[in-house]
Amino acid sequence: MSFYEVIDPKFGEYVLFNAPVKQLATGFDWVEGPVWFGDANCLLFSDIPNNRIMRWSPDTGVSTYRAPSNYSNGHTRDLQGRLISCEHGLRRVTRTEHDGTITVIADQYDGKPLNSPNDVVVKSDGTIWFTDPHYGIMTNYEGYKAKQELPCNLYRVTPDTQDIDVMIGDGNCPNGLAFSPDETALFLADTGRMFSDDPQHIRRFDVAADGALSGGDVFHEINPGASDGIRLDTDGNIWSSAADGVHCISPKGALMGKILVPELVSNVCFGGRGKQQLFITATTSVYAIKLNRQGAQRP
């Protein structure tokens, strides 16, 4: 069996013919939000329906990092290495300080509660960008059922001033997001309403020096499945979740190849030695594969 499907021959240079897609841990209900801590040699990820953040290390295996997690979903790290978390349960974005205390980054806009923050990135100027679709308040499975009071926006928080800005308000259900390595482009996945015919695509925005976004044309349509989570490598290729695995998409938007995964993939992140390992959260399990690629420096 092959772990890959090569569409563009260049993709063959990105993978290692004998590196397996390896299951690291299983038995969860819906894993999401992987983030690598090279300094602690471990991966954190969410097991959303079970209301917990798990930790995996090659040395010690799997343990519980935080429970309850307020139904946390996406994670990243800020410029000081602190954990940034999206929480469905308390409908907020938080920062875990180095001493373990929790600081609220954002929980409302215009006097109304956020929907259910889903995924998050930090730009090199320290601003925190997160998506706020309604998935976590639709049912009691991944949070608490509640009334939606705000559109599904993309927000930017400036931690120093606590300013919160709507950066994109015309999305359907914005989800995964990532900047290009030089931060001149932002890629934003939109996964639409559940059980609808809404398009599943990634949009590309130009990013001005002050962070303002323009453009936003559809960059790539994911098929099969949806682009729930995305990360970029140092050459600007996009690695996106899909129903049949992880799709590698060129900076021009062409599908180059796939890593085949036996479960529905939700998200990915680079980590391991030299950031050349791709960690994959997929339904009940976490997988990893070593690549001939390096993740872009932003987690």
Q: Provide the binding-site residues for Mg ion, judged by CB under 5 A.
A: 118-119, 175, 228
User: What is the nearest approach in angstroms of Mg ion to the Cβ of residue 241?
Assistant: 8
Q: Are 123 and 211 in contact (CB under 8 A)?
A: yes
- Whole-angstrom Cα distance, residue 292 to residue 299? 18
- Rounded-to-10 torsion of CA 203, 209, 212, 215: -40
Q: Are 198 and 173 in contact (CB under 8 A)?
A: yes
> Which residue intervals of 210-274 are DSSP H helices?
none
Q: Are 202 and 186 in contact (CB under 8 A)?
A: no
Q: Strand, helix or coil at 221?
A: strand
Nearer to Mg ion, 132 or 233 (CB): 132
- Whole-angstrom Cα distance, residue 264 to residue 20? 18
Which class for 190: exposed (0-12), middle (13-18), buried (19 or more C-beta within 10 A)? buried
- Whole-angstrom Cα distance, residue 258 to residue 267? 14
Q: In 3D, which of 246, 279, 259, 261 has the Cα closest to residue 16?
A: 259
User: What is the nearest approach in angstroms of Mg ion to the Cβ of residue 58?
Assistant: 25
User: What is the nearest approach in angstroms of Mg ion to the Cβ of residue 187?
Assistant: 13
Q: Are 85 and 93 in contact (CB under 8 A)?
A: yes
User: What is the nearest approach in angstroms of Mg ion to the Cβ of residue 8?
Assistant: 26
Nearer to Mg ion, 237 or 267 (CB): 267
User: What is the nearest approach in angstroms of Mg ion to the Cβ of residue 168?
Assistant: 15
User: What is the nearest approach in angstroms of Mg ion to the Cβ of residue 7?
Assistant: 25
The one-letter amino acid at 119: D
User: What is the nearest approach in angstroms of Mg ion to the Cβ of residue 190?
Assistant: 11
